[in-house]
Structure 1
Amino acid sequence: MTPPRTSSPVLVGRGDELAALLGAVADQPAVALVEGEAGVGKSRLVRELLRRPEVTPLRVLTGFCQPLREPFPYGAVLDALRTVAGLLGRVPLSPVTGVLRPLLPEIADRLPDPPPRPEDPRHERHHLFRAVREVVAALGPVLLVVEDLHWADDGCRHLLRFLMADPPPDLTVLVTYRREDSPGGMPLGRAYRPPAGVTGVVVGLSPLDAAQVHDLAAAILDVDGVSAEFAARLHERTAGIPFVVEEVLRALRDPDWRLLDEVAVPALLRDAMAERLDRLTTTGRRIAQAAAVLGVPAEEELLAEVGAVEPDRARAALTHALRSGVLHEAADMRYGFRHILAQQAVYDTLTGPERQRLHLRASSALANVTPRPFIQLAEHSLKAGRHTEWLRNCEAAADRALEVGDPSTATRLYQRLLDEASPAPSDVDRLAVKLGLVARGGIDQHDPRATLERLLDDRRLSRSARGQVRMNLGFLLIRQFEGTVQARSHLEQAVTELADQPELAMRARAVLGQPFIGATPLHEHLGWMRVVDSYIESCENPEVRYSLLANELGSRLSIGDHSVVSELDRLPASSADVEIRRHLARANCNLADACALVGHFDLAHDFLDKGLRLTVGAGVPFTASTGQSTRIHLDWYSGNWGSLVARAGRLLDEYRELLPVASEISLVLGCLAVARGDWDEAERYLAESGVRSVENSITPVALGGFAPLARLWFERGDLTRACAEADLGLDLVRRKGVWAWTGELAPAAVDAYCAAGRLEDAVELVEELTAGVADRDAPLAHVALKVCRALVAMGRDDDAVFLLRDARRAADALGLAYYSATLSERIALCGLESGDASAVSALGEVADRFEALGAGRDAARCRHLVRGTGVAMPSRRGRRGYGNALSPREQDVARLLAQGRTNREIADVLFLSPRTVEQHVARVLRKLGVASRAELLA
């Protein structure tokens, strides 16, 4: 029998998966996701794909993500583009591609000069992403392959999501990954669905079954077949993982079937690699062992230095290791193992003293690399038994990660040091404070909460450091679901523990003074705020002053404090000091949020633009995330709903664990769902706005959630539940004492009370609101007061229409598109009741306004009212023909069909007859090219 091959000459058991990838390649633009555990054959499938003639016309660009990476955003994608210089030049490149020049020196001479750096930070990263897209588009038909995405940096994931969301027409993106090793189980950081017009395929690779292991073994051994007993035993020992099957069979120079019964799979794998190592020269083994210890592909010189191989003998030794199949060339003259399991197998052949010696050499060699790879140095120090060096390098790696804007890695490393390092008391103090500082400003998936809580009981921690840890834990908890009550307790205790550090204690007081946390009465917050305000007046430290102002100004503005506007000049435009710039970014984003709460929408946009610009390069992703949620809320108010559901959904996926961000986005999505008549979706989102746990809520967001809930039940005809939701919201307002936040709740409550016959409650609420906002700078609440007075007057006072029009003028002045449309509907209804001949056409125009916004339920209600008058309206068909595209009404029907609604339920939501719905359903199915509801749902 011939010696076994190093791998199967044919692809076994992956025919369907290969066909799916070929289909994606043939139908560009396309996105293909290949997932599976280590060794299951992802790379083998990709190699087979690249050999197929169907792929030949494509430019294949390949990037690899590596473990133990140093922070380098977009690394794998940029590596894939380094070799395309010879392909550029045929198509003029957009000026935006010039931003890639400093990142891709290999192709810099083919790129235009960099454009001016944009002032808006949202555009800076967008420019880079567009540049990559433009370069890829200029290459013609392209297959971009990124392997091992589970090791990718966040920037690389964001860039790939951008390409996948709107790929060039001639691009296929193919990524491989292990879901179990991906952050949060999602290789792209959040769920991905291909957009319309983009072919999408997910190929999941499972271990081979016994029959497939039989075929694989026969192909590798170059025989017609193996015994069923051998195949079954091989499948049992290898779990059907193709790589392990191959490695086991490689150990069989003479196929001795009894070997399978004598040695367990892990030992067999180690033995297989040991045998292949034995066939190498001494220097070849040293090179392979050095590669196993380094753990990432390395250049020849580094392998030689770690393996203690003379430079003049290293080339021959490396060549022997490559030809023997022990090592392979990864990319760019860097050499490593074909698979991490192979690397581990060689590593396991080393004795303890050998490993320690090699790790020491690796530390020495890497210490001379610029920039220093601190993460790798830390790992080698740890495994070499150099505890002090490990602590120093790991801390340096965390500091470096924070410097380059990677707080996730920094948090994980600080946390690891505290969990595993057994540091000295002075180290515990320093590391604990660092962890708290970075955790409170980041959005890390590796939640450090447990570590910080455990540190509070660590006797090595000094009182001062414990106060800082407790304060930072409070800052962390205050943005977590069900954490705000505990956060306040920690912050109050931290004030006591930080008595000898007044600057830090004031920061805790400033957060306790923020009024929008939970159900704590406003007068308690004001007590903290007065102490902080007094301290700011005498504070000479600019970093501390701006830190406190970042909370104080936003807090006071959010409750309608008139005096804040005159104090805004206390904030400079920017600062060269990165710490001050972080506080200024937070101050402006907080002010933007406060302005949005009370109705200063133009100011909100100005502050938000300024704040987000300041976040660029400042390493404050949490601040940036709150700014993005404020932007979403502002778009709701202004009626910029075109892509709002999609944008809000993406942000919610990304920031689902952050209470201030997720609750505000859930509120907006719930409001949009109410406007569309998607009741179940609305309830689901609004439940996450804080209405069911007001003690642990962002108070104005929770108040905002009670308003659409009251409207939802009002629209569904359940006035009892509508009033109950309004009662709960108003109870929170009365406990809190901030009437400036009732801009949406108060009108919804008055509407429900009037409809339910609770006129006295409605009148009492108007009186409370009048008193509550009398001296407050809260434009939105003042508009709400006008609306409430008009609603109470409707049907009872001839001035109702005058009051409604006055309220609408105020709403229009603030740019409240949806608010204005609802008031216009009320005005038209009053006109119908009084016999105004123009009211019917006015109501039809309001329906068009609702439809343009995307408020399908409201538009349908208005048209139903028009039909009820019996007055014929001009045909809408004359305005536009939709052909094979779905009309707005058909889009509403399609959306409800996709939710599994019956014709009767759709008719109730859209105010249509079942017969009309039946006709719409038939047109929707025909236009979408499906034969039935079941096929549409599938």
Structure 2
Amino acid sequence: MERDPYDGAGRGFAWTGRSRELDLLLAALEIPPAVVTVEGEPGIGKSRLLQEAGRTLTGRGIRVVTGLCHPLREPLPFGPVLDALRGTADWLPEPDRLNPQTGALAPLLPALARRLPPPPARPEDPRTGRFQLMGAVRSLLDAVGPLVLAIEDLHWADEATRELLLLLARDLPKQLGLVLTYRREDLPADTPVLGAPYRRPPGTSGAEIHLDTLAEEEVHALAAAVLGPRANPALSRTLFERSAGLPLVVEEDLLTLTDRARDARRGSGRTPRKDALADDISVLTEAAVPRGLREAVTARMSALSEPATAVVEAAAVLAVPASRHLLTELTGLDPRQAGPALTEALRAAVLRETAPGHYGFRHALAQQAVYQDIPGPHRQDLHRLAVRVLWTTPQPPLVQIAHHTRALGDIPAWLRQAEAAADQATALGDEGTATTLLHEILAEPRLEPDLRTRSALALSRIAVNGVDYTTTTSTLRRILADPQLPTAARGEIRLALGLLMFNLARDAAAPTELERAVEELATRPELAARAMVALAMAHQRSSQAARAWMDRAEKTVRDSPDHAARAAVRATRLSLMASAGDRDVWGLVDALPLDDPDPEVLRQTSRALFNVGDTALGTGYDTRAAALIHESLDLARRLGTLVVVECLGALDLLRLDWLAGRWEHLEADHAALTAQYPDMAGAAFDAHLASGCLAAARGRWTRALDQLGQAAHIAEAATEAEWKLRATAVLVHVHLARGQAQAWTVTVPALAALRSAACWPVACDMVPVAVQAALAGGHHQDAHDLVTEAEHALEGVDAPAAHAETHLARGLVLQHDADSEGAAGHFDRARLTFQAIGRPHHTARALEHHARALAPTDPQTAADHLTEAAATHAALGATADAARCQQALRELGLHRPTPRGRRSYGEHLSPRETQVAQLLATGATNNDIAHALAISPRTVEQHVANTLKKLRTTRDNIPGPHTAPRAP
């Protein structure tokens, strides 16, 4: 008997064309913690990949839970994650073995309430409550590991869910694997999948999987698994052309063919004839739109009874998985009729059970196809009925009601419902849903002025703690252009705009917006004081202007009952004290409140901790700076206000890495941070500056000048004088190293900025480099005056790094004046200070200067110092600096000769060739290498040729900059 080629087909399709992706997914999850993203267009097979992985993982004893995101959802914070957690009930330990904070989930997961500790008191502040829930989720996931948490369709996730998943991904429980699926094309514009670009932290494995369409041979394999011998090449070609390799469309076509054959067999009682099977191609080719999913779905729908069709159409209008009761209400069917109709739709694979008791489409494309085929009048009736039915539920889903109201074309009603939904979302701490709704409201033309004002204010209050700079500032500017906006509301919105401009972009126009906000907030003194302290920070290097704004702010809130406003003023006062090098700031920082009932007071504490830590980094208290920044980040996490502080804190910690000599991953870490925060000017500036500094230390002058030029360009548009000084200092160092005359010319405008901003306490290498440039250019008096000015400015100021730089500068002047003994003393004080701070690169440079000053009177010690400095530079990877020390030894006659006769290294690299290889690996040109190693271009050519020959490679293929190249 011939085997029925359609037997068993049509419901569970063969696993085809995804073996590599499955292996990659399983390998990544094999060593937790792990984060895997799976990206692909609708119908590409993301869910199927997870199903196959889930079967394998379950067989290995690894638990798997899944949550689904939906395009239309109610403001329940972390809804998809909570849905997944409901599946952990059987794995939970006894309540007394769980972290007490997991009790916060009990009200949201009633089915698990008996298995959880008692709920803690709910914080009054929604943001703090949201962060409490985040900690509870993480603790619960930690308790049930090893576990894989899969969240599907993350492109539909709200901001709160994205924030939770981002925090989880950055600090995963040790036994957790996190898998996220999404469609890139359906992400909000310019928005990464987790709301901010993400890079896996050290110790976290993972993968980024992109699912592409199936190749023609893979479509043939899928068809053969379903149709058997009837899947000839011609039919497979037709399937491939119709689907363009999209698995969902292939499967829908195969369902059509299997059902057609099954129907023919049932009618005749026999297996379909071969000629009937041959008609499969004509069935597909005769479809109205051969490439679309819509026709495949329509074909499936046409086989349904009228009641089943009504159920499917109701599901399409609802647009989210719905209960049987809700579908029944919307169809108007008798419950005894609705049950079989729903079952029919499920058996036909038009609908599926997405969660216990909830039914929706297999794919959003199918929902859209059905929805678009519903006649307009009937579609309107269903939306109208959906509004009435949803209002009768115990907790009316306001987001869905707003959606249906808008679909009816009733814009006034939609605006009312959307505002109510946004308010509800904000109250629940779901700022993502609220932000989306508010943007939609504000995009509506001819908006009623009061509603426009309320919505704009709500958006500004959310936006001030976010990092979506471009979209939000554009919206706020558009709102501010409305002449009908009330003055006080205009002031509050402008305050938010000014804070965004200053915090995220260091925009030089920010003070102008803040000053206008002060005027517009005359009737809102506490908010006006917030603008004043922001202005004090913007003018912090102009002591007179900063003092004036601070005095005005303190006077404004002196008798105010608003504790948060007073805390904001106090935080700014401490920030300015730190910037001025006031020793009294440390005791005041230690007294900051860390457990105040008002979350806004704690947010100001976090701000003060960060600002003082940031300044401590500039003044030379590196260890204390790291502690304060970490404390600020911890408090921000507790409060749920991490985003801005996290970026700024990460930048400071990377700067600490540079100063402490931890350079190995510095450029990669900066690149990841820049991608994560594309709107943050500070991230771009620091990335270019770090690349320029590394290139300069390695003698890659061309790259150094390019990167430093880009950093300087960013600094020109910013309010931060330190940015200009830091970039210029390294630029001048490069010009000096290359013997270029423009070093002093470049220095002059930077010194004007230094004097204007009066930022002498912040060490940025400007003073000693400027002195070197002045002396090299014959401007001795300028050099002497600059050092004297810096010494005077730093009298009584607690800024050890700035004092060390001034000692370096004074030593350079004294050395130029032939006072080697006096110079040596200042150089040594600089060395000891940098060494105590913990800055090896600066320490080695000071040691090098000390050696040069000692050379005339103590050549042996000078040689020891230069050798030590060269070793330190070499260990850091500062090839050019190490070569400069070796050159100094030769110039001073202190070079220790090798034994007579040149050593033969055979096929191995000599020390000089190793230096050349390291420079080649960074992309240095021959001219760069000549300058870096102080050798002639002709000698460089010989070394490069020998190096490449020994390594058996070409210049383009030499190992990367962090690899020590060795000959085979």
Q: Which residue of 771, 778, 782 corresponds with 2:803? A: 782
Asked whether 1:748 is paired with 2:752, we answer: no
For 1:75-94, what aligned pairs fall within 5 Å after superposition?
83=87
Structure 1 residue 454: deviation in Å?
Answer: 1.5
Structure 1 residue 748: deviation in Å?
Answer: 1.9
Per-residue Cα deviation, 1:184-230 (whole angstroms, up to 9, x for no partner) = 364355666779999876554444567776776777666645796x8
Asked whether 1:512 is paired with 2:535, we answer: yes
Structure 2 equivalent of residue 880 of structure 1: none
Q: Aligned with 2:66: secondary structure?
A: strand
Unaligned runs of 5+ in 2: 121-127, 262-279, 900-908, 962-968
Q: Which residue of 179, 187, 191 corresponds with 2:193? A: 187
Per-residue Cα deviation, 1:93-127 (whole angstroms, up to 9, x for no partner) = 99997866755978999999999xxxx99x99998
Asked whether 1:732 is paired with 2:753, we answer: yes
Structure 1 residue 739: deviation in Å?
Answer: 3.0
Per-residue Cα deviation, 1:121-147 (whole angstroms, up to 9, x for no partner) = 9x99998898688668x64xx876553
Structure 1 equivalent of residue 850 of structure 2: 827
Structure 1 residue 614: deviation in Å?
Answer: 3.4
Select between 413-422 and 148-157 the one with higher mean Cα deviation.
148-157
Q: Which residue of 128, 152, 159 corresponds with 1:147? A: 152
Structure 2 equivalent of residue 608 of structure 1: 629
Equivalent residues of 2:141, 2:176 under 8 A apart: no
Per-residue Cα deviation, 1:162-181 (whole angstroms, up to 9, x for no partner) = 88889999997655432223
Equivalent residues of 1:363, 1:381 under 8 A apart: yes
Q: Which residue of 798, 801, 813 corresponds with 1:792? A: 813
Structure 2 equivalent of residue 619 of structure 1: 641
Structure 1 residue 800: deviation in Å?
Answer: 0.6
Structure 1 equivalent of residue 47 of structure 2: 43
Q: 1:492 to 1:375 in 2, by over 3 A?
A: same
For 1:755-770, what aligned pairs fall within 5 Å after superposition?
755-770=776-791
Q: 1:454 to 1:902 in 2, by over 3 A?
A: closer
For 1:380-459, what aligned pairs fall within 5 Å after superposition?
380-385=404-409, 387=411, 390-399=414-423, 401-402=425-426, 407-420=431-444, 423-444=447-468, 447-459=471-483
Supply the distance in 2 between the matched residues of 1:198 and 1:607 (Cα, whole angstroms): 26
Asked whether 1:869 is paired with 2:894, we answer: yes
Equivalent residues of 1:739, 1:772 under 8 A apart: yes
Q: Aligned with 1:330: secondary structure?
A: strand
Structure 1 residue 418: deviation in Å?
Answer: 1.0
Equivalent residues of 1:783, 1:810 under 8 A apart: yes
Structure 1 residue 347: deviation in Å?
Answer: 2.0
Equivalent residues of 2:787, 2:810 under 8 A apart: yes
Q: 1:586 to 1:18 in 2, by over 3 A?
A: closer
For 1:345-360, what aligned pairs fall within 5 Å after superposition?
345-360=369-384
Q: 1:353 to 1:899 in 2, by over 3 A?
A: farther
Amino acid corresponding to residue 732 of structure 1 in structure 2? A
Q: Which residue of 529, 536, 542 corresponds with 2:563? A: 542
Q: Which residue of 66, 70, 81 corresponds with 2:69? A: 66
Asked whether 1:495 is paired with 2:518, we answer: yes
Structure 1 residue 326: deviation in Å?
Answer: 0.9
Structure 2 equivalent of residue 486 of structure 1: 509
Per-residue Cα deviation, 1:309-364 (whole angstroms, up to 9, x for no partner) = 56566554433221111112334454321111011122223334444444455556
Structure 1 residue 760: deviation in Å?
Answer: 2.8
Equivalent residues of 1:749, 1:762 under 8 A apart: yes
What is the TM-score when the length of structure 2 is the normalising length?
A: 0.78
Structure 1 residue 508: deviation in Å?
Answer: 2.8
Structure 2 equivalent of residue 714 of structure 1: 736
Q: 1:450 to 1:97 in 2, by over 3 A?
A: same
Supply the distance in 2 between the matched residues of 1:102 and 1:888 (Cα, whole angstroms): 62
Equivalent residues of 1:403, 1:619 under 8 A apart: no
Asked whether 1:242 is paired with 2:269, we answer: no
Structure 1 residue 585: deviation in Å?
Answer: 2.5
Supply the distance in 2 between the matched residues of 1:691 and 1:803 (Cα, whole angstroms): 34
For 1:810-889, what aligned pairs fall within 5 Å after superposition?
810-850=833-873, 855=878, 857-859=880-882, 861-862=884-885, 869-871=894-896
Structure 1 residue 512: deviation in Å?
Answer: 2.8
Q: Aligned with 1:834: secondary structure?
A: coil
Structure 1 equivalent of residue 906 of structure 2: none
Supply the distance in 2 between the matched residues of 1:154 and 1:679 (Cα, whole angstroms): 44
Supply the distance in 2 between the matched residues of 1:567 and 1:163 (Cα, whole angstroms): 34
Supply the distance in 1 between the matched residues of 2:707 and 2:52 (Cα, whole angstroms): 45
Asked whether 1:700 is paired with 2:722, we answer: yes
Q: 1:585 to 1:171 in 2, by over 3 A?
A: closer
Equivalent residues of 1:582, 1:620 under 8 A apart: no
Supply the distance in 1 between the matched residues of 2:645 and 2:772 (Cα, whole angstroms): 37
Supply the distance in 2 between the matched residues of 1:345 and 1:334 (Cα, whole angstroms): 20
Select between 279-288 and 436-445 the one with higher mean Cα deviation.
279-288
Amino acid corresponding to residue 730 of structure 2 in structure 1? P
Equivalent residues of 2:921, 2:958 under 8 A apart: no
Amino acid corresponding to residue 569 of structure 2 in structure 1? L
Q: Aligned with 1:335: secondary structure?
A: strand
Q: Aligned with 1:39: secondary structure?
A: coil
Q: 1:617 to 1:844 in 2, by over 3 A?
A: same
Per-residue Cα deviation, 1:878-920 (whole angstroms, up to 9, x for no partner) = xxxxxxxx99999988875554456886686577986887888
Amino acid corresponding to residue 651 of structure 1 in structure 2? L
Structure 1 residue 541: deviation in Å?
Answer: 3.2
Equivalent residues of 2:697, 2:881 under 8 A apart: yes
Equivalent residues of 1:533, 1:552 under 8 A apart: no
Supply the distance in 2 between the matched residues of 1:132 and 1:857 (Cα, whole angstroms): 52
Q: Which residue of 478, 486, 495 corresponds with 1:462? A: 486
Equivalent residues of 1:207, 1:239 under 8 A apart: yes
Q: Which residue of 723, 741, 750 corresponds with 2:744? A: 723
Supply the distance in 2 between the matched residues of 1:349 and 1:165 (Cα, whole angstroms): 44
Structure 1 residue 671: deviation in Å?
Answer: 3.8
Amino acid corresponding to residue 826 of structure 1 in structure 2? H
Per-residue Cα deviation, 1:612-634 (whole angstroms, up to 9, x for no partner) = 34322253632443334334434
Q: Aligned with 1:576: secondary structure?
A: coil
Structure 1 residue 789: deviation in Å?
Answer: 0.7
Per-residue Cα deviation, 1:536-565 (whole angstroms, up to 9, x for no partner) = 445453333223343344245424467867
Aligned-residue CA RMSD in angstroms?
5.2
Q: 1:125 to 1:456 in 2, by over 3 A?
A: closer
Unaligned runs of 5+ in 1: 875-885
Supply the distance in 2 between the matched residues of 1:371 and 1:684 (Cα, whole angstroms): 59
Supply the distance in 2 between the matched residues of 1:863 and 1:76 (Cα, whole angstroms): 62
Structure 1 residue 426: deviation in Å?
Answer: 1.6
Structure 2 equivalent of residue 596 of structure 1: 617
Q: Aligned with 1:447: secondary structure?
A: helix
Equivalent residues of 1:439, 1:448 under 8 A apart: yes
Supply the distance in 2 between the matched residues of 1:145 and 1:595 (Cα, whole angstroms): 42
User: Bigger radius of gyration, 1 or 2?
Assistant: 2
Q: Aligned with 2:353: secondary structure?
A: strand
Supply the distance in 2 between the matched residues of 1:659 and 1:686 (Cα, whole angstroms): 15
Amino acid corresponding to residue 500 of structure 2 in structure 1? L
Select between 483-492 and 397-406 the one with higher mean Cα deviation.
397-406
Q: 1:19 to 1:664 in 2, by over 3 A?
A: closer
For 1:309-324, what aligned pairs fall within 5 Å after superposition?
315-324=339-348
Identical residues among aligned pairs (%) = 35
Equivalent residues of 1:299, 1:335 under 8 A apart: yes
Per-residue Cα deviation, 1:424-473 (whole angstroms, up to 9, x for no partner) = 22221121122222222211267222221221232442233223323322
Amino acid corresponding to residue 745 of structure 1 in structure 2? M
Structure 1 equivalent of residue 965 of structure 2: none
Q: 1:923 to 1:299 in 2, by over 3 A?
A: farther
Amino acid corresponding to residue 772 of structure 1 in structure 2? A
Q: What is the aligned length?
A: 908
Supply the distance in 1 between the matched residues of 2:824 and 2:666 (Cα, whole angstroms): 32
